[in-house]
Amino acid sequence: MNRKSLIILLGLAGFIVMADNWVVSPILPAIAKSVGVPAAGAGVLIAAYMLPFGLFQLVFGPLADRFGKSRVIIGTLAAFSVATALLALGTTIPALASIRALTGLFAAATMPISLALIGDVVPMERRQQAIGSFMGIAFLGQALSMGIGGAIAYFLDWRGVFLLYGAFAAVVTVVLWRGLRTAAEGETRNPKAPVLRPYLELLRDGASLRTYLVILFEGVFLLGSFSYLGTVLAERFQLSFLAIGGVMTAFGVAAVIAGRTSAAVAARLGRTRTIAAGLMLAALADGLVVAGSGSLWVTGIGVFLLGFGFMTAHSTLLTVATEFARSARGASMSLVTFAFMLGGAAGTQLGARIIGSSGSIAMYVAYGIGLLLLGLVTLPALSAAARELTPAPETA
C-alpha cells in the first residue's frame, strides 16, 4: 500500500465514523417506535454517543504515542465495527444506549490518530494536501449521513443501517490491517510517552494555545452552522430526508474539493491568510443561508461554500498543529479534535437556544458574524505559529 492508498483508506475509516456520528438523528423516530418509547425518550442515544466520543479523544492520543498509531487505529476500528453491528440487536433503550456509548468510545480514536499518523508518514511539503484529502473524505460521510441513514431505513429498517455500517467498517479494518505494515513504516512510537504532560506542554506554549482556541471557536460557529442546515432545509422547503441528504452532499463535495486545493492556496497566500480566508468564506456561506429563505439554489450555494470554507481553514489549521509536538503527535491531534468537537457541541447547544428564542435566521446571522470576526482575529493570533511552524517543546 502506498501513501495515497493509505490516505484514501484512512479517509474511508473517517467517513464511516463521521457518518455513524450523525446517523441516529434522522432514524430516531423509527428507533423510538420500534422499542415503544416517545422520540424524546430515545434522544439519550445521541448523548450516550457524544460523551465518550469527546472524552476519549484525550485518552487515545497518549496510547497511540506509546503503543503505535496503526495499532490503535486497527484495534479501535475493529471494536467499532462490532459495536455498530450489535446495535441492530438492541431491543430496549438502556441496551441501545450502552452499546451506543461503546461505539462512541471506539470511534473517538479514528480521526485524531489518523491525522497523527499522516503527520508521521507524509513529508511536510505534501502534508496539507494529504490532510485535506483525508478530511474531505471523512466529512463527506458527515454530509451524507442523513441521506444515507434515511435511505437505508426507508428501504430496509433502522437495524439495517447499523448492520451495513458495521460491515463497511469491518471491510475497511481488514484492508487497513493488511496494508498498514508497509505504509506506516515511518510512524513514531515512544514506549515511555507520558499521559498528561503532553497536554500541559501544548497548552503552555503560546502559539499552540492560540491555535487550539481558534479551532475551538471554529467548532462553535462552523459545526454549529452545519448542525441545523438539515432543519432549515426541511422547514423552508419541506424536503424529504432523501432530498435533504442530496442538498447536504454539496457540503461534502465542497470539502473534498477544498481538501485538494487548500495546499496550493496556502503556498500562495501563506497559512494564516488561508485560514482567515476559509473562515470568511464560511461567514459568507451563513450570509447566503440567511438570504436564501425563498430560494433553494441560494441556500444550496451557501451549503457548498460552508463546506469549502470549512475545509480550507480546517485542513490548514491541522497542518500547523501536526508540528506542535513531533514526538507526541497523537496527543497533539487528540487535543485538536477534542477542541473542535467541544466547540461543536457548545455551538450546537447555543444554536438551539438562539433558534428557540429568535429563529434560525438570527442564529445564522450571529454565527456568520462570529466567523467573520474569528477570521480577522486569526491574522494576528496565528501569524507566528503558521509562519514558523514552531512546535511546543519536543518533550511534549
Q: What is the pLDDT of residues 68-117, one digit of tens each?
A: 888 899 999 999 999 999 999 988 989 998 999 999 999 999 988 998 88
Instruction: Based on the fold, state whether residues 382 and 241 are members of the same structural domain.
Output: yes
pLDDT-based confidence at residue 392 (cuts at 50, 70, 90): very low
Question: 123: Cβ–Cβ under 8 A, 6 or more apart, which residues?
Answer: none
Instruction: Based on the fold, state whether residues 168 and 205 are members of the same structural domain.
Output: no
**DSSP secondary structure, 263-311, as one string:** HHHHHHH-HHHHHHHHHHHHHHHHHHHHHTTT-HHHHHHHHHHHHHHHH
Instruction: Based on the fold, state whether residues 71 and 204 are members of the same structural domain.
Output: no
Instruction: Of 53, 13, 336, 343, give the one whose Cα is nearest residue 172.
Output: 13
User: Would you tell me how many other CB atoms lie within 10 Å of the CB of residue 334?
Assistant: 30
Instruction: Based on the fold, state whether residues 313 and 393 are members of the same structural domain.
Output: yes
Instruction: Based on the fold, state whether residues 135 and 238 are members of the same structural domain.
Output: no
Q: C-alpha distances in angstroms, 332 versus 65, 195, 202, 217, 353? A: 10, 12, 7, 18, 32
Contact criterion met (CB below 8 Å) for 378 and 215: no
**DSSP secondary structure, 326-377, as one string:** GGGHHHHHHHHHHHHHHHHHHHHHHHHHHHHHH-HHHHHHHHHHHHHHHHHH
Per-residue pLDDT reduced to its tens digit, 14-27: 999 988 887 776 67
Say which amino acid occupies 264: A
Per-residue pLDDT reduced to its tens digit, 106-158: 999 998 899 888 888 888 888 888 888 888 888 788 777 767 777 777 777 88
User: Would you tell me how many other CB atoms lie within 10 Å of the CB of residue 167?
Assistant: 14
Instruction: Based on the fold, state whether residues 89 and 132 are members of the same structural domain.
Output: yes
Instruction: Based on the fold, state whether residues 177 and 207 are members of the same structural domain.
Output: no
Please give the residue range of the domain that contains residue 270: 192-396
Stretch 246-253: mean pLDDT, rounded?
A: 82
Q: What is the number of domains present in the chain?
A: 2
395 has a pLDDT exceeding 70: no
234 has a pLDDT exceeding 70: yes
Q: Which of 62-66, 179-183, 375-379 has the lowest mean pLDDT?
A: 179-183
Give exposure, 256-280, as e/b (b: 16+ Cβ within 10 Å): bbbbebbbebbeeeebbbbbbbbbb
From CA 122, how far away is CA 226, in angstroms rounded?
A: 30
Question: 341: Cβ–Cβ under 8 A, 6 or more apart, which residues?
Answer: 53, 54, 57, 219, 223
Q: Is residue 187 part of a domain?
A: no
Instruction: Based on the fold, state whether residues 200 and 223 are members of the same structural domain.
Output: yes
Per-residue pLDDT reduced to its tens digit, 264-319: 898 898 888 999 999 999 999 999 999 988 899 999 999 999 999 998 999 888 88
Instruction: Based on the fold, state whether residues 175 and 224 are members of the same structural domain.
Output: no
Instruction: Based on the fold, state whether residues 353 and 242 are members of the same structural domain.
Output: yes
In the prediction, which pLDDT does 26 show? 66
pTM of the model: 0.77
Q: Domain with 235 in it: what CATH number?
A: 1.20.1250.20
Instruction: Based on the fold, state whether residues 396 and 292 are members of the same structural domain.
Output: yes
Q: What are the grid coordinates assigned to 258, written together?
A: 477544498
